[in-house]
Structure 1
Amino acid sequence: MTQQHAAIGDLYYGIPAIRLKFGRYEAVALPGNGANLISFRDNELGYSFLREPDADSIEAFKQSPSVYGIPFLYPPNRYEDGKFLWNGVTYELPINEEATHNHLHGFLHTVRWEVEDYGSGEQGSYVVMNQRVREGHPMFRYLPFTFTMKLTYSLDELGLHQRYVIHNEDNQPIPNLFAFHTAIRVPFVPDSSPEDYKIKVTIGQRRELTERLLATGQFQPLSPEEELLKTTGVSPYFASMDNHYTAAPQNGRNYMELTHSKTGATLVYDVGTAYKHWMIWNNKANKEFICPEPQMNMINAPNRPDLLAEDIGLIALAPGHIFETTSRLYCVTPNKSKS
């Protein structure tokens, strides 16, 4: 292990962390804070791709961890009045968004994950974190299902790789409803302006939301800017966005591209085709960050038995079965053969 290829226990503003290094890339995972991948950087070019807290905002991160880095959400987004209908049973989740009287974002983005393994070699640097949900787990009282999840983050010459695995250890089908609330820094190039960027996301149709931000099951027409969002690209801040879309892979890929016009650098977030939806949120177009969130299920999907499960991403995992998906975050830069 060298400084160029390393996986080390470290501190991130006083928070226990695993720091990964490989070549020009560096990443930081926070196992005790929801397994959040809080930082991904290209140290050679000085690019910082994720919204990170600094010394002045680290306490804000602790209070609102879902708007920094890459938080893992299970189950994701909103559930009407905290109700979660599954296999004919209605479970009651705590109301944690008083303004809408909904449950928001599940349980696993704030709890401690176990570090199963970490290390480094010539092929890459990695960390494996797991969550074992069973009786006694803080989530089990609300959703009493037995399963194990693993999140693996690794760095190699191609960038940041993410692997998600869930194993159903229960005697009944369990919900496989999840998302990553990925907060992308815009601008990510030093000394650049938010106006220098265009974003493209492989969205399909826009789902209609109520005033409580719950999906109605109906669709709305895309605006001209949203048509550009899924084709040639548009400003990440063309409007205030808190929008819910179906995913529509292009050329076999489901992805976001964020391009800096002056350097030609393009950040690619290739999330894989398992996801049925995207959420896109830019915090009222504040010109600081945008969250292109790959999400399995439509908002409030368990409470909509009137809609086709496959269409709304209401995905069940059978007893004993395993689900796995991978994503990659990397930067394509002109005149460089490797990214």
Structure 2
Amino acid sequence: MRTYEIISSEWDGVSTFKLVDHAAKAEAEVIPAVGFHLFRFDVGNESYIAKPESLAVLRAQSSRYGVPILFPPGRVKQAAFTFEGREYRLPANREPHHAHGELRERPWKVVASGADAAEGAYVSAEIDFAEHPEMLAYFPHAACFRFTYRLKDGTLSLSGEIANRSSQSMPLSLGFHPYFAFAKEEASRVRVVIPAAAEWPLSEDGYAAGEPAPSALTAALHQGQLVTELPEYPGGSQMLTIKPGHQSCELHYEARGTKLVYDMGDRFPIHVLFTAPWSDAVSLEPYTSIMNVFNEPFSADLSGAKGIAAGGTFEFSWSIRVIALD
């Protein structure tokens, strides 16, 4: 038997790709037709990603399960912002605001897939704004997103490139919203470790209300905070600035004797920690910038505000692996 397999499958009649690593007893599954969504990651017969009960639920609530791709992450006030003197008006998909972008729910086009000893099991897909006139109408940049999920040596990774093929620089605010699952009875034995440098004070509606500073929460997260001791929703969403350099977070599943290591690379200086009220899951969310970034008054070095030059690219990678708990 080969170590790696890529299996074409279906979920409620829609095509999916299963990435299998037999040696690590790991399996991941993505659905390109709904936002190139990773909706399952199992290791050793344990589920580590919260899966919705049906495809219909995922289509209706694509930001609430699996690993949604967010562009932009979070909410944009009044569904509008200004970048380099140009005004952008987004669809008000969470009246009167815009939330989480459309990449998480639109179909992506598969451009490559395979499995072998050198590459592991992988699937690549892309979405190009130039092929979606209705998106170009509010985001006038021929931006092409090409991402690859790969399962190799027990590690599930996502790497990607965003290419700006337009003649003007484009605003960049990218994030991911992985829902890491746990059983209800093990919640009191799941611990979160995040290298947080500072916590952003938030307004009642969740936007940045001042500059970030070290806090009791950031100190607790360095040592590991139990999921059951995190603030409850709606105060259960915290926006953090991560320590500079290579960034890695952990979830300690004490009842399972395993540790999930989320290696986020060095492209995501902002992190949102979120406990979902509708699911037994906790989200560790890497962002390139704070929510609503281009409407906020903070300096770019604090907020992460940036763009991609005309003809330029933005590249990133992150990975998840499950290992034995020390």
TM-score, normalisation: structure 2:
0.91
The equivalent position to 2:261 in structure 1, one of 268, 273, 296, is 268
1:214 equivalent to 2:211? Answer no
Deviation at 1:32, TM superposition (A): 0.5
Deviation at 1:334, TM superposition (A): 5.4
* Equivalent position amino acid for 2:45 in 1: G
Kept after mapping to 2: 8 A contact 1:194/1:287: no
Q: Please list the CA deviations of residues 166-188 of structure 1 after superposition, one character each: whole Å capped at 9, or x if unmatched.
A: 1111111112210001110024x
- Residue in 1 that maps onto 2:57: 60
* Equivalent position amino acid for 2:21 in 1: F
* Root mean square deviation of aligned Cα: 2.0
Alignment of 1:136-285 (within 5 A): 136-187=132-183, 193-219=186-212, 222-223=215-216, 225-229=217-221, 231-238=222-229, 239-240=231-232, 241-249=236-244, 252-284=245-277
Q: Secondary structure at the match of 2:220?
A: helix
Kept after mapping to 2: 8 A contact 1:80/1:214: no
- Residue in 2 that maps onto 1:302: 294
1:120 equivalent to 2:111? Answer no
Of Structure 1 and Structure 2, the greater helix share is in 2
Q: Please list the CA deviations of residues 188-236 of structure 1 after superposition, one character each: whole Å capped at 9, or x if unmatched.
A: xxx961112111112222112222322234336623x44211x110112
The 2-side partners of 1:117 and 1:8 are apart by 13
After the TM superposition, which parts of structure 1 deviate over 4 Å for at least 4 consecutive aligned residues?
none
- Residue in 2 that maps onto 1:326: 317
Number of corresponding residues: 319
Q: Secondary structure at the match of 1:328?
A: strand
The 2-side partners of 1:103 and 1:296 are apart by 18
Deviation at 1:159, TM superposition (A): 1.3
Deviation at 1:63, TM superposition (A): 0.8
Q: Secondary structure at the match of 1:144?
A: coil
1:129 equivalent to 2:128? Answer no
Q: Which runs of 5+ in 2 are unaligned?
A: none
* Equivalent position amino acid for 1:296 in 2: T
TM-score, normalisation: structure 1:
0.88
- Residue in 2 that maps onto 1:49: 48
Q: Which runs of 5+ in 1 are unaligned?
A: none
Percent of paired sites with the same residue: 25
Deviation at 1:310, TM superposition (A): 2.7
Are the structure 2 counterparts of residues 103 and 228 from structure 1 closer, same or farther at C-alpha, using a change threshold of 3 Å? same
Q: Please list the CA deviations of residues 89-125 of structure 1 after superposition, one character each: whole Å capped at 9, or x if unmatched.
A: 1111122223xx3211111111000000101111201
Deviation at 1:20, TM superposition (A): 1.1
